[in-house]
Structure 1
Amino acid sequence: MIRKLTILLGVFTLFYCSPLSAQVDSNLVQFSGMVLDGTTQELMPVPYVNILVQEKGRGTYSDFSGFFSIVVEKGDIIVFSAVGYQTVRYTIPDSLTDNRYSLVQLMTQDAVNLPETVVFPWPSRDHFKLEFLAMDVTPELQERANRNIANETLERMRSEVASDGVENSSYYLRQQSREFYYIGQRPPMNIFSPVAWKQFFDAWKRGDYKRERDDR
């Protein structure tokens, strides 16, 4: 009797729950594509772009070749953001009939406005020296120059001006290569280095450590 009830329950679950599962899965889409730099006609890939599903707290990032792939739902808003680039939003169409969707997303570099620069086109270096020595700097220009080269101003500019996409990816790759360089073995330590031991013995023979103790 228990076996028959188990079989009937399985049949009920198969026929009544399968359409519900299919309905839920039909809303999922495998969203893949490439992120390219559309600032110029070269269309270079943009690596390590943050790809976030808006208001759902999940996402992914593009690899070194600009490729990405993530499972989303129809109607989701996808946010593409990267340092040095303008943020782009794309909405997954609601009318998709397939569970796969591909996209080539172009991103434009975000220009940073720098302070105004005045260029004096002197014909030669000698002319520049003469004009530079004869130049009369007003107190207002001198005060402005002092403010621009102050340590506080330079520190603020270093913290406010963000790195562009090339600088950001280069820094990331350098940090990553430093961590992956010694995969499969221990990183080198000075205690196992013959050169470090030789330097220690030479310093011991010269009496460097004894002099340090005497100075204390």
Structure 2
Amino acid sequence: MKKLLPLLFVFSFFLSKQSHAQFETVKDSVVQLYGIVMTADSLVGIPAVSVSIKGTTRGTVTNNQGVFSIVALKGDVVEFTHVSYKPKSITVPRNIPGNQYNIVQLMVEDTFYLPATIIKPRPSPEQFARDFANTKVPDDDIEIARQNNDAAKRRILLQSTPSDGGGATAMQFRNIANRAVYQGQIPPMNIFNPAAWSEFIKAWKRGDFKSK
């Protein structure tokens, strides 16, 4: 056991030196990247430019003056993108002395060419008035709600819309209750009920029995 102690001490010392060397290497590769993004023609700072490290999730945006700051590694590719300018990218040099690097990035406006559109006037005021009067304006939500609350529309929806679970269950319970009340006797027929005849006549006048 005493013979192993010197070997363990040498091994731990070697691991500590190696870890320290690796830490110094990583520390030396970290770069604080400062810069400003400007227009190539007028040298004006561009705000809201996306600055990101390619292949990573690290990124930032320029402020109102086009200035930005981001942490990168030596050899990283930094991408600059904006909706109005052509994208650009740079590579952080590996032989930078120290851990700071400043750049001035210029961007060129990206021009989009749309197909030509020809706007023609109406041939005459009379035709414009005629087309304007005949234009179908779609109903808004308030008009659709008003139409759905109409009495005739509600009757149509009541006939065509199936019952939900609660309605079907309530109807089934009413049928069971009616059968229990008239158990052992003949249930009354609505053919002799004046109120039922009155409702039938009203429904006939409304046209509820017409084929849709």
**TM-score normalized by structure 2?**
0.47
Question: In terms of Rg, which structure is larger?
Answer: 2
**RCO (CA 8 Å, sep 6+): is it higher in 1 or 2?**
1
Give the TM-score, by structure 1 length: 0.46
